[in-house]
Amino acid sequence: MKHLEFIQTIVSRMGNNSFLIKGWSVTLVAAILALTANNPNIYLLAVAIFPALAFWGLDAYYLRQERLFRKLYKDVIRGEVDIYLMETSDYKCRVDSWLKTFFSPSILPFHGIVTGVVVVIVVIFQV
């Protein structure tokens, strides 16, 4: 049971990290866009794309890690894993790659909208 608690703690931490990343993404992108409100600078606006994409990638990483530990959790319940083993490398072929997770329906709408808004604002101010 303690092994399952350890894994569940990790899964919860990954979910919490994902939540914090979404908050930081919106905050940082909004702050950069607010800095350019009075004096629109195309280069500063374009800089807002990089944190949006970076946070998107980081969120995909944590989501993939969460999925790996969920697979481990299931195998621990079935008794297929040595006690207190926390290694997830055996599950990498059974879980979507980082790139597929990047476009996962659970994070694509949020980060796609944030990045899309930045791109639209850059295009508007470029013209």
Sequential DSSP letters for 84-95: T----GGGTTTS
SS3 38: coil
SS3 content of the chain, % helix, strand, coil (to 5): 75, 0, 25
Q: What is the pTM of this model?
A: 0.84
Give the per-residue pLDDT at 107.
92
> Could you tell me the residue ranges of all domains in the chain?
2-126
Please write the tens of the pLDDT for every residue from 2-50.
788 887 888 888 889 999 999 999 999 999 888 887 777 777 777 889 9
Using DSSP's 3-state secondary structure scheme, residue 127 falls into coil
User: Which pLDDT tens digit goes with each residue over 73-93?
Assistant: 888 888 777 777 777 777 787
The number of residues making up the chain comes to 127
pLDDT given for residue 127 in this prediction: 55
